[in-house]
Amino acid sequence: MVAKLDKIFDSFVKNRLFKDKSILQISHTPNNITHRDEQIEEVAAILAPALTGEKASNLFLFGKTGTGKTLCVKYVCDEMLKRVKQDGQDNLKFVYINCKMGKAADTEYRILAEIIKGLGGSVPITGLPTGSVYDKFKELVDERKQMIVIILDEIDQAVKKNSDSFLYSLTRVNSDLKNSQISLIGISNSLVFKDYLDPRVRSSLGEEELVFPSYNALQLQDILKNRAENSFKEGALDEDVIPKCAAFAAREHGDARRALDLLRVAGEVAEREGSKKVIQGHIDKANDKLEKDNMLEAIKKQPIQFQLVLYSIMKLYSSKNKSSFFTGDVFREYENLCSETKNDVLTQRRVSDIIQEFDMLGLINTEVISKGRQGRTREIKLMISKKIFSNAEGILRDSLNI
C-alpha cells in the first residue's frame, strides 16, 4: 500500500508542471504590470500628495472586470507604503474594501464597519446607530495626524443595492477631522455608474477620473507570458496554449483575471491528468470547470429562502417545457416547495425582491413586461447552463434536504 501511495506521490512530484502556482492567483501582485504603465503613473501622480501628508484628490476608476484596476491601485499603494516605511514614517494608511454583493460589506453600516476593522478597530455586527459608528470612525482616524486612503472596490454594487448617501457622508467626513484627512478611491466595473450618482457626490468623488480600457488579445498574451514564465516549468506549456487562453478571455471583453484563471486551471487539469504538457484541450476543460465552479459556489452561498426560490425556478424548468416563467408561477411553485420541505413561506412581495437579487447575481435574467390584460409581471429566464443544471440541483437538494 505504502509503495503504491509512494508511486502516486512520486508521479505527482515528478509531473509537476507548476513552478509557483501562486503567481497565477488573482491575489498575486506581480512586480511589473504589463500594459498599464500609463495608468499606474496617473494613479501614482494623483495619490502622491498623500506622501507628504497632503490630501490626495478623490479618485474614480472605471473599467470592465479584469482590466487591472484593483491591481494597479494595490500596486501603487504598496509602493507608497514601502516609500513611507523607508522614510521611517507611518502616517499613511490604505484601507481596501470590496463592496461586492454577498460579501461582508454591502450596506452602509457594514461598509463602515469594514473600514473600521481595516483601521484596526472593531464594531459590533449590529445594534449600533450608524451615526455613532461614524463617530467611532472619525475618532479612530483623528487620534493622530495621518492620511487615510479608502479604496472602495466594486462600489457600483453597493450604490445599486443601497443608495449613494453613504458616499456623500464619507466625502463629508473630512470637514469634521482636525488632524487627519481621508481620500477615497472608488472602483467601478460599470461605465455608466456615474449617472446613478447624486450630483454632489459625483463632483466630490470624481475629482479625478481614470478609465481602464479592456485588454486586447495580444496584450493578454503578453500578460500571460509574463506570469507563465515564473509560474510554470520550462516547456510545460504547449506553444498555442497562451494564444488560446488570451483569445478565450478576449472574447469576454478582455478580462485578464479570466485569462489567468483559465491558464491556472488548465495547468491543474493537465497536472491531474498526469499530462506532461498543458495543451489546448485542457483549456476547454478549464473553461467548463471555471464556469461551473463559479456558479455553483454562488449558489451554495445563498441563504435558505433564496435557495428555495432558485430551486422552484429550476423545478419549473425541468417540469414544464418553457424557457421563461412569471413571478406568479415561481411563487406558487415556491409555496408548494415550502410546504413540502416545512419551511416558512415568505410573502410574494419578498420573493419578488429575491428574484430581483438573483437577477443582479446573474443566475437568472429578468425583465418587467406587461402582458396587457394579463397584467404586469417579471419574465424570468434561468441563466444556469444545461451542463451545470444537475450539479446545481444536487447542491440545492443537499442543502434543502430534499
Task: Give contact residues for DNA (rule: CB under 7 A).
Answer: 107-110, 124-130, 303, 305, 326-329, 344-350, 352-353, 355-356, 368, 370-378
User: In angstroms, rounded to a whole number, what is the distance separating the alpha carbons of residues 391 and 100?
Assistant: 25
Shortest Å distance, C-beta 366 to DNA: 8
Residue number, 1 or 125, with CB nearest to DNA: 125
Rg (CA), the chain: 24
Residue 183 vs 377, nearer CB to DNA:
377
Sheet with 325-326, strands from edge to edge, namely 325-326, 376-382, 364-370
143: closest CA among 97, 185, 91, 88? Answer: 91
How far is it, in rounded angstroms, from Cα 162 to Cα 99? Answer: 11
Query: In degrees rounded to 5, what are phi and psi of residue 367?
Result: -145, 135
Cβ proximity to DNA: between 201 and 355 the closer is: 355
Pick 31 or 374: Cβ nearer DNA: 374
In the complex, what is the shortest distance from the CB of residue 130 to DNA, in angstroms, rounded to a whole number?
Answer: 3
Q: Torsion-angle region of residue 183: left (phi > 0), alpha (psi -120 to 50) or beta? A: beta
Q: Which is nearer to DNA, 180 or 327 (CB)?
A: 327
With contact defined as beta carbons under 8 Å apart, do 322 and 381 qualify?
no
Helices (H) and strands (E) in the chain, counts: 16, 8
Minimum Å gap between C-beta 328 and DNA is: 2
Minimum distance of DNA from residue 105's CB (angstroms): 9
Q: How far is the CB of 139 from DNA (least distance, A)?
A: 12
Question: Which of 274/375 has CB closer to DNA?
Answer: 375
Task: Closer to DNA by CB, 166 or 248: give it.
Answer: 166
Helix, strand or coil, per DSSP, at residue 317? helix
CB of 231 to DNA, least distance (A): 39
Q: Which three cell numbers stand for residue 370?
A: 406587461
CB proximity list for 228: less than 8 A, separation 6 or greater: 24, 237, 242, 263
Shortest distance, CB of residue 108 to DNA, whole angstroms? Answer: 7
Distance CA 264, CA 258 (A): 10
